[in-house]
Structure 1
Amino acid sequence: MVHSPSDRASGKLWTGPEDAEQLLPQEIPRPSLRRVRQWTEGEDAYRAELYDHVSGGTLSPTPVPAVMPRLATGWWEGLRKALDCLSAVKTDRTAVRQAYLDRAMPKYLAFLDGPVPTTAPAWSTAHGDLHWANLAGPELGIMDWEGWGTAPSGYDAALLHAYSLATPETAQHVRQELAALLDSDAGRFAELVVISELLQSAERGDNVELVPALRRRAGEVWQRITTDEVTTS
């Protein structure tokens, strides 16, 4: 069930679930959208969506897990395959805009030593909100498709990792399982993107407990980027 002022009841977030149902391959594990009903009451618009039941439930009640979720090797294999399949989907939907990177990254990463690049090495299609409250287990399911679209490559893996930083064991496990996405130029840039976003959202009071770990991780990633630049120059 979603609600919006009627004059804003349109666009990417409003149509995302239906677009996902029509455009995403069946290989991406997600609950099917069975029915949608929309109505208005005065100046308010409402939208009710009926999905298939998700087996097992979400892995965390919040985006930031309190403990490391226990997941089988097959779950991680499925997630890697799903993200790979999703990245190749052609769409005109946008999850992250270049204008946002140009504006936010210099502001929220100003504590780093040196000018931060804002141009992504590559772009691909992403879920756009991949965190532990949008993932199901022990059978893999990916939920909440309102904001999917193009983003810097590696964005989903970087976002899941950033939300895991409060629990070092969880973050380390994500880095191991999604190393092919994170341990690259694109992956490191994507980490800086999502750290910028989460530092901005922390100013509004969201997941404030992550801020020290986010800043620390930004420093680690930046050191790796600058070291690689020196090595290759």
Structure 2
Amino acid sequence: MFRRWWQRYGISLILVGVGLSVALFLRQTQGGAIQEFYGLLFNRQGNLTEAETEILLQNSKLRELQNRVEELEAQNLQLQNLLDYRQASMGEAIAAPVIGRSADAWWQQITIGQGSQAGIKIGDTVTGVGGLVGRVVQVTPRSSRVALVSDLNQQVGVMLSRSRFQGYLRGQNDPLQAEMIFYEKVPDVEVGDMVTTSNLSTLYAPGIPIGRIAAIDFNAGPAPSATVELTVPLGSLEWVLVSPFEAKPLNFELQPEQDVSQTP
């Protein structure tokens, strides 16, 4: 009977005994054995010489410096691309950094770090590498607010470079694409056509690139429409160019463009 009992409970008793012995040992030594074990294990890291510590600090500083150099190189590349674009297109445009976005209007507006002291005015055109970014709608001495072409409230007079068919672009609160609504019922449009600001635009100079036709819906009402892939990376803007522009009187014979300069 004892043998059967031992076979059933013996191993459990041994394990309990070992556990109690270990607990008693740790209590008497106050964890000294474990501390000593970890001390031996990590002794190399915890007892570096002064020279080794100095080397680690220098390596850390070098890594930090390398990261800063990489960031400066990236910023320099963006600025160089922007300057090349200005020389090729706008000439006298003012370069300005993007210094802010509103969390509740991320794809609608940006704040740039140039204002009236630099000569910027409400209505000025804002572009980036690739084409149109938007329009200045508010100015302070040292900063300006820009309504983006991706803003759902923005409407821009546009045309197709190939066929010269006209329409207007409507933002979709999307940094990658917008919608073009045609004036004609049967427009000459193809996927890949370049879309630019129109000569009929009242808010922008003509010929500024905006994007390319990505998809066409001839059955849309009340007029055919197309999806336009924007050529400016609105989601990663860091610098823009601001060019002076005097808005023309609205032509009410066509769909008027949306002026959001009074938007709070």
The verdict on a shared fold, with TM-score over 0.5 as the criterion, is no
Q: Normalized against structure 2, the TM-score is what?
A: 0.23
Greater per-residue helix proportion: 1
Q: Which has the bigger relative contact order, CA under 8 A and spacing at least 6? A: 1
TM-score (norm: length of structure 1): 0.25
Which of the two has higher C-alpha Rg?
2
More strand by share: 2
